[in-house]
Amino acid sequence: MGLVKRNDKLSDLKKAVIVISSHVVRGSVGNRAAVFALEALGHQVWALQTVTLPWHPGHGPSTRIVPDVKQFDAVIEDLCNSPWLSEVGGIISGYLGDKDQAKSVAKLVHAVKCASPEALYLCDPVIGDLGGLYVPEHIALSIKSDLLPLADIITPNRFELSWLTGMDIQTNSDILSCIKTTDIQCVLATSAFSDKVEQTANLYFDGKNCFVAEHRSFAVPINGPGDLTSAILMSRLMGENDARTTLGLVTSSVYEILERTIHAGGNELILEQNISSLKTPNIPIKITKLPIGRI
């Protein structure tokens, strides 16, 4: 048997990503979705949970375990002092279980940026949806005050963007107006508007151009597409894709996995059987350019 040729150069590997979000025992939401997607796309992942649940609370009553604030911060301190911080090329923060976790996450973002100035920080402000806030307001405010100002990228849904900016959103131009008030150079807003009935869209602004990707909406609610979107977006941004290509890949991957999950009768994202959808999605997505000059 011949020897397998190895490449021992760590510099040839994709940069690691730190993911800080919720953990469920059953299901594919929070860290469970993000870690799987990032590893499938070739990244090492450092995962830290902000809360542990047996399943998504949308499935019914569930025990909620939030790490002690001091212990959570102690872990963050260890990570800040890690000799391996230069391996990290991206940080994602999602659902928080306590308002004080935001300051700890902010401290880690500063440490990673100091070790790797080119590292990207993606803040997924998981605070609510069109039904309103589903986290206590003080947690939402801590994300707004402590994390948003540090973000290179944010991935809010339409409600979250409206709440964070204090602006009403009725059109995609309104979404773009909200984005411009944040001074954040890269924003992917989910649940954007489509001109067609029973369709939804992702709106992506990269500081120079704005694109809208439309796809069919699903009557069956599946948890986790937001977490999955953030993870895939981070990986694609750490590559060398232009804005239109990035949006197309992210939207196609998530849409394809949602379609396959619903076709299979799943009530959680089915990721393990759809790795090809993460790497090389095949569903074509209609992408249009939104003139920035409209506003």
Backbone φ and ψ for 192, nearest 5 degrees, come out as -75, 180
Helices (H), 116-242: 137-142, 158-165, 172-182, 225-237
pTM of the model: 0.93
The CATH number linked to 193 is 3.40.1190.20
Is residue 7 assigned to a domain? no
Angle (deg, nearest 10), helices 31-40 and 225-237: 30
Which residue range(s) make up the domain with 279?
A: 14-294
Query: Among 8-17, 226-235, 245-254, 261-270, whose mean pLDDT is lowest?
Result: 8-17
Determine, yes or no, domain membership for 5. Answer: no
Total structural domains within the chain: 1
The answer to whether position 26 is within a domain reads yes
For residue 40, is it within any domain? yes
Mean pLDDT value across the chain: 92
Q: Residue 2 has what DSSP assignment?
A: P
pLDDT digits (tens, 9 = 90+) for 102-118: 999 999 999 999 999 99
Domain annotation covers residue 1: no
pLDDT of residue 60: 85
Residue 2 located in a structural domain: no
In a domain, 269, yes or no: yes
Going by DSSP bridges, is the β-strand pair 210-216/286-289 parallel, antiparallel, or unpaired?
antiparallel
Residue 178 lies inside a defined structural domain of this protein: yes
